Structure 1
Amino acid sequence: MTPLRRQRAATVLFVLAGAGVTLAVAMLALEQDINLFYPPEQVVSGEAPIGKRIRAGGMVAAGSVAHDDTGLGVSFVVTDYQGSEFRVDYEGLLPGLFGEGEGVLVAGQLRADGVFEAEEVLAKHDENYMPPEVADMMAATGEQP
């Protein structure tokens, strides 16, 4: 191999290695940033990953909201009104429009015991708004949003 070919081969290998490292770092960053949405049926059936940040949504079940003694801790049940429901634990201030029978979107991690540990709770904005994922889920099950 001539010195010119050796230099070209080294340059090509260096560029390919740099592109590979760049792609790997970009994929890692995107994987950490993507939060997939899961309806209650998929959370209960085990399709939602345990210990990974996800979003889940549905309706807050009537009579399920319970506050703890600290005033910031709350647990409630998210349901799809089709028999699938899961408990959510959240520590923090709830949105002003949060309530039983209302649409909710939670972001956090599913624990091994099936309880969703929420880091963020989003409630609908007014009487006509519903998160698109929840509206799609309810339309698929025949419920009226």
Structure 2
Amino acid sequence: MKSRHKRLALIVGGLAALGVAATLVLNAFNSNLVFFFSPTDVAAGKAPVGKTFRIGGMVEQGSVQREADGVTVRFIVTDTEKTLPVAYKGILPDLFQEGKGVVAQGKLEGDRFVASEVLAKHDENYMPPEAAKAVSDAHARAAANKGADSGAAPLPTGTPATAAAK
């Protein structure tokens, strides 16, 4: 075999090894990629079914229920527009409370979210950026809807607009 052929075989082998390594890295990255959704996004059907993702928002007041086994907890996460029931089996973080921010990771099973991990905010001023954005977006949509609903009362039939405005 000529040295030229040896060099070409070495280059082709190196490129093949590099391609296999890149494929394995990208596959591992894709497997560990977890997206964030708000309860409004989940209600709109944007969340993947059967895949792990994160939801975030506030724990609704009065929604935390502990099962008799002492380990299973059910609560409701809200972004002030929509709510999503969550079931979690495990020990909750010390900072987990009603009315506080939370991010849960798990899968959607039917109409409830089954969490495998629950994260709570770590101080009074912190909320995960995604959860804070979801809550502020829900507030903005609610304000826009309220503004549209609280417009001028409809005019009686047959009344000209100029007469009603006076």
> What TM-score, normalized to structure 2?
0.75
Alignment of structure 1 residues 94-133 onto 2, 5 Å: 94-111=92-109, 113-133=110-130
Over the aligned positions, Cα root-mean-square deviation in angstroms equals 1.8
Q: Following TM superposition, by how much is the alpha carbon of 1:140 offset from its aligned partner in structure 2, in angstroms?
A: 2.5
Structure 1 window deviating more from structure 2 (134-143 vs 97-106): it is: 134-143
> What TM-score, normalized to structure 1?
0.85
Q: Following TM superposition, by how much is the alpha carbon of 1:80 offset from its aligned partner in structure 2, in angstroms?
A: 1.0
Gaps of 5+ in 1: none
Give the number of the structure whose residues are more often helix, by fraction.
2
Contact (CA 8 Å) 2:72, 2:89: kept in 1 or not? Answer: yes
Q: Which residue of 2 aligns with 1:138?
A: 135
The runs of 4+ residues in structure 1 deviating greater than 6 Å are none
Where relative contact order (Cα < 8 A, 6+ residues apart) is larger, the structure is 1
Q: Which residue of 2 aligns with 1:39?
A: 38
Q: Whole-Å Cα distance in 1 between the matches of residues 9 and 122 of structure 2?
A: 58
Deviations 1:47-97 (A, max 9, x none): 111222211101112222111110010111111111x22111101111222
The 1:9–1:114 alpha-carbon spacing in structure 2 relative to 1, beyond 3 Å, is farther
Aligned residue-pair number: 140
Q: Which has the larger radius of gyration?
A: 2
Contact (CA 8 Å) 1:44, 1:114: kept in 2 or not? Answer: no
Gaps of 5+ in 2: 141-166
